Structure 1
Amino acid sequence: MEINGISGVGMSTAFPLEKNTSSTSVADGAGKFFKELVGKVNDLSQQSDQAIQKLATGENRNLHETMIAVEKASVSFLFMSQVRNKALEAYQEVMRMPV
């Protein structure tokens, strides 16, 4: 009895490799990722500030919505700082490798 594999399922399908990947495209991808991450964290921080201001002026009376916005901004900032720390640790580890 022959068992055939499932076609179209695998790592190459989920994560296709680009043929001409160079170190500059990897660096550009990482730079783009960090730029988008910082932008999203900044947006959440601004939304948090606006929610606090609306609560303080009485325009918004929902304390729970304000606290949710503040916590989203806080958690996203902590996530960004942890990603930065891990990237920095990886860079330092690569720099310690003998050539």
Structure 2
Amino acid sequence: MVDGINPINPIKPISGAGNVQPTQKSGTDFKKILENAINKVNDTVNNAENLSNDFATGKTSDIHSVIIAAEKADIMLQLTTEVRNKIVEAYREIMRMQI
């Protein structure tokens, strides 16, 4: 042993580290937010399809609202797909992490 140097003390485990419990937060959870968003996209797509069918059968002659509804549904589907891709990418990144 070298004079003036203290030996290294062993590392002690943190008390309670193995007993971590998830906490329940008040508010909307991720699952509910995702379900609501997907339901809203589904409603928008169904509305666009109904307007398109109404235009095709002659029930409406307002082509502008049909095109706007179709574009809105298309944009919402693209956004939903990109969000899904980001979630899957984040999940894969977490699974690659070494503990």
The corresponding residue for 1:88 is 88
CA distance in 2, matches of 1:54, 1:90: 41
| TM-score, normalised by the number of residues in structure 1 | 0.70
Q: Structure 1 residue runs of 4+, over 2 Å off? A: 22-25
Q: Which amino acid aligns with 1:36?
A: N
Gap runs ≥5 in structure 2? 1-21
Aligned to 1:12: none
Structure ID, larger Rg: 2
| Counterparts of 1:75 and 1:44, CA distance in 2 | 10
Offset of residue 24 of structure 1: 6.4
TM-score, length basis structure 2:
0.70
What is the CA distance between 1:23 and its match in structure 2?
A: 6.3
Change (3 A) 1:94 1:24: farther
Match of 2:70? 70
User: Partners in 2 of 1:23 and 1:74 — Cα distance?
Assistant: 38
Between Structure 1 and Structure 2, how many residues are aligned?
76
Percent identity between the two aligned chains: 33
Q: Give the CA deviation at 1:56.
A: 0.9
Q: For 1:28-47, what per-residue CA distance to the aligned partner results, in whole angstroms no more than 9, with x for missing partners?
A: 72211211111001000110
Q: What value does the CA root-mean-square deviation take over the aligned residues?
A: 1.6
**Which residue of 2 is the match for residue 45 of structure 1?**
45
Q: Distance in 2 between matches of 1:24 and 1:93?
A: 25
Matches within 5 A, 1:12-51: 22=22, 29-51=29-51
Task: Spell out, residue by residue over 1:24-72, the C-alpha distance to the aligned partner (whole angstroms, 9 max, x if none).
Answer: 66xx722112111110010001100110011011111111110000011
